[in-house]
Structure 1
């Protein structure tokens, strides 16, 4: 469960471009699920989210067969596709309230498909790949009239097709500190031929608050799901005709005790009928545990793991054995450029400062300040404000979160 509160402050250009963004509160996520094993070599997960518009809906629903020669583990269903350290790491373990602007614009995230993953015997490397249908809705469904290479329609209705591949390597791991010092390197590729050969690349400003704008059923006053209002996309290419696109990504995570450095860079090569646009993005972040903890790592998954405080927060009247939990300060810079050739979706530069308080391994409080600077005129292009000398939009956000998972 993640309960969020957010406030916005916009300059005149920002209000002109995005409208007045409302402050608010919501449940960013509220999930229930089950996972287990059907037998020694078959695992399953079934999870639904109740905390957002259009919910409840599926998040992770899959079954996998383990211990398969060469492939390792084969999974079928809907899950987070293997591309990007931010994607494969759980939202429960992220440093900030939202993933970077690259995440929404360039990654595959959850889709219905089949894939495999495996790791080296010494846990120094992982590899994974998948094939999936792209463009599916929140319940895993997709419809698409497939055309063959000659442009002739097939009698078989198929969804758009995507693939992901990911490799990770741990060149440095300090066993003497039980994994408190290590270096993670990774690389990945994401290919997508989207349904209808149309796509839009877009991103929120690394913070989100929203509310359902419902209709009414009869005289009961009971609201029904309808239009959803919330933090708008700060950069957006609008719908573009494409043949396909390929995203290449690199990953770095260096942890030295309480200090962590994390960065990813991506380049999206968008193939259109007569040209190829190149859209880059990057984020870098730093974190430091004031109480001496470190950022754990799951070597089998090549992903960030759960923070374990040295001493859980506790307060007793007798003053015996008090604990303050784990405290972390963090900062992040991110940049996303959606402008090249026929694609003009704007640029966004975000600066985020964060404070995290981990009361215990399952409960934490988060406070983020985000400054977002965009060069964006809206889909289709808005006329600038009278007398404006710049199309740059400046927006400040403050967010707070209470998170609990079990």
Structure 2
């Protein structure tokens, strides 16, 4: 019952009593009757208060019951959900993480690679094949010119296969053998004691091309560092630091090849270190003979040679770079500290030579011959390059000094040092718009990755590039003297068209025009020079 109804009932009773008193009009109503009415009113008020208290208690109890019922319902629902999840997990177990001892097989750039799940230990198969076909239109200036002809044909320039990998994250290794040089003949560009450096019986430069161990766990001065030793390709000179898979032309410029093969280049034994970050590269190595050098003391035919040793240093960097442009500069130094000595004749000689920037014919058109009494040699150079979108430009220049003060007991005696020099400049433009990326680990530019690889079904045509180069090498010094060298001066102009079919296949077409200015000897001005034109194509597969 509500408080309003109770109050109304009380008022009605009071009114009835009052009306009864009025009707009776009894003046003799006693105080007892009034007191009785007051007592009844008071009792009604107490009942009203009790009813209000009971109503409030009932409301609170009802709310509490509802809350408890709701909480119980939620708890029951959660319990049922957990039971359902547990049942599902039991029916379809959750896949656990692969154990660290598991292996993962991947194919980055189509190179088969096996790694542990934590990627700390890997081994991969690597290979490259460069097959060249070409021909010469060779024109000797006179009958005194040697050679009188160059042979056209083909050459398996490189045929390498091996493994590269790492273990425990920071130890890197490589073991690569090169079966190439099928028609290279004698082809060495720097030789000692009459035996070309890198020459193996049967011709060419076949042999162990890489067999080294490198540690990269140190990261001083905010960069990366590698300490390495073994047989390796030394990242000395900008052109040599660019992979043969990525160079613009079928062959590097002669000046770089002649310089590298004194105490650097491919197949070279070495120990040293390099440090780099995104803007700077610094490296220095102590070097020994190449893998094909004969140094057996018991060898008479061919004669054995003592082992040579030398050193290289290079500093280069990419100080200016952006999304579509970059600038590279650098400097190089090389020292032949101890030339090899012929163990039979005691001669210490050095030969500087190169073929005309093509390897179809093994004949060198410029050569110093065997320089006698060589006690050492030094090469100093500068390098520069840059890119702007699909455009790339690159050039290097080198100065050579050959000391002839070795005490061999053989003439000539006390001959002055020889000085040679040479350089090249080249440009390239990718017609399809791709850019040569910069590789800080080698301080050189990488190859083109086609945005639309060639596909008959997909409609892509790969990447197309045109390039041009002019190079010069002067191997003449102290002409008109008996101690002089008439090695000749070579200038070659090259035009190239490169088709990057995809990341692994490339076709190269080169046209060369060469002019060799040479006299018969240092004391004879008889013209022994020549001119030539050549065209060649390379089929390249690499991964």
Q: String of CA shifts for 1:43-92, please: whole Å, max 9, x gaps.
A: 00110111224575111110111123659211110112232011121100
Alignment of 1:116 onto 2:273: yes
Partner SS, residue 501 of structure 2? strand
Counterparts of 1:185 and 1:98, CA distance in 2: 22
Find the counterpart in structure 1 of residue 319 from structure 2: 171
Asked whether 1:7 is paired with 2:135, we answer yes
Query: Structure 1 residue 257: deviation in Å?
Result: 0.6
Q: Which has the higher strand share?
A: 1
* Corresponding residue SS for 1:30: strand
After superposition, the Cα gap between the structure-2 partners of 1:243 and 1:144, relative to the gap in structure 1 and judged at 3 Å, is farther
Which protein shows a greater Rg?
2
> SS of 1:254's equivalent?
strand
CA pair 243-285 structure 1, distance change in 2 beyond 3 A: same
Q: Give aligned pairs, total.
A: 358
1:103 alignment counterpart: 256
> As a proportion of its length, which structure holds more helix?
2
> Would you say 1:328 and 2:469 are equivalent positions?
no
Distance in 2 (CA, whole Å) between partners of 1:168 and 1:300 is 11
- Give 2:354's match in structure 1, choosing from 194, 203, 208: 203
In the alignment, the residues of structure 2 paired with residue 158 and residue 231 of structure 1 have an alpha-carbon distance, to the nearest angstrom, of 26
Moved more, 278-287 or 100-109: 100-109
RMSD: 2.2
CA 1:142–1:380: 2 relative to 1, 3 Å: farther
Question: Which of 292, 299, 302 is the aligned partner of 2:433?
Answer: 292
Check 1:275–1:144 CA distance in 2 against 1; reply closer, same or farther (3 A cut): farther
Partner of residue 52, structure 2:
none
Using the size of structure 2 for normalisation, the TM-score is 0.63
**What is the aligned partner in structure 1 of residue 493 from structure 2?**
351
For 2:420, what is the secondary structure of its paired residue? Answer: strand
Are the equivalent residues in 2 in contact too, given 1:81–1:88 (CA < 8 A)? yes
Tell me the secondary structure at the aligned position of residue 104 of structure 1.
helix
1:269 CA displacement: 1.2
Question: Separation in 2 of the partners of 1:251 and 1:97?
Answer: 20
Distance 1:57 1:344, change over 3 A: same
Using the alignment, how far apart are the partners of 1:305 and 1:141 within structure 2? 35
User: What is residue 305 of structure 1 aligned with on the other side?
Assistant: 446
1:296 CA displacement? 1.5
Q: Do structure 1's residue 235 and structure 2's residue 366 form an aligned pair?
A: yes
**Cα distance change of structure 1 residues 20 and 332 upon mapping to structure 2, 3 Å threshold:** same
**2:387 corresponds to 1:250:** no
User: Where does residue 217 of structure 1 map in the other structure?
Assistant: none
Per mean C-alpha deviation after superposition, the further-off stretch among 362-371 and 104-113 is: 104-113
How far apart, in 2, do the equivalents of 1:162 and 1:254 lie? 31
In 1: Cα distance, 2:539 partner to 2:524 partner: 38
Cα-to-partner distance string for 1:81-110 (whole Å, 9 max, x where unaligned): 232011121100010000001122111203
- Among 217, 241, 244, the residue aligned to 1:88: 241
After superposing on structure 2, the runs of 4+ consecutive aligned residues of structure 1 that deviate more than 4 Å are: 377-384
Residue 73 of structure 1: aligned partner: 226
Structure 1 counterpart SS, 2:239: helix
CA–CA distance in structure 2, aligned partners of residues 299 and 364 of structure 1: 24
The offset of 1:25, in angstroms, is: 1.1
Deviation of residue 27 (structure 1)? 1.1
SS of residue in 2 equivalent to 1:17: coil
Say if 1:82 and 1:129, in contact at 8 Å, map to a contact too: no
Taking structure 1 as the reference length, the TM-score comes to 0.83
Q: Contact (CA 8 Å) 1:129, 1:166: kept in 2 or not?
A: yes
Unaligned 5+ segments in structure 1 are: 146-156, 210-229, 385-389
Structure 1 residues 229-282: Cα deviation after superposition (integer angstroms, max 9, x where no partner): x33101000001211111001111110011111000000011123412211101
Take 1:287 and 1:246, find their aligned partners in 2: how far apart are those partners?
A: 31
Maintained 8 Å contact 1:237/1:379? no
| Structure 2 residues without counterparts, runs of 5 or longer | 1-128, 182-202, 299-304, 342-347, 406-414, 479-483
SS for the counterpart of 1:112 is: strand
The residue correspondences of 1:364-379 to structure 2 (distance < 5 A) are 364-377=506-519
Cα contact 1:259–1:288 (8 A) shared by 2: yes
2:358 counterpart SS class = coil
Aligned equivalents of 1:339 and 1:265: distance in 2?
16
Give the direction of change, closer, same or farther, for the CA distance of 1:62–1:125 in structure 2 (3 Å limit): same
Instruction: Measure the CA separation in 2 of the matches of 1:232 and 1:54.
Output: 12
User: Do the aligned partners of 2:142 and 2:528 also contact (CA within 8 Å) in 1?
Assistant: no
Q: Which residue of 2 aligns with 1:396?
A: 533
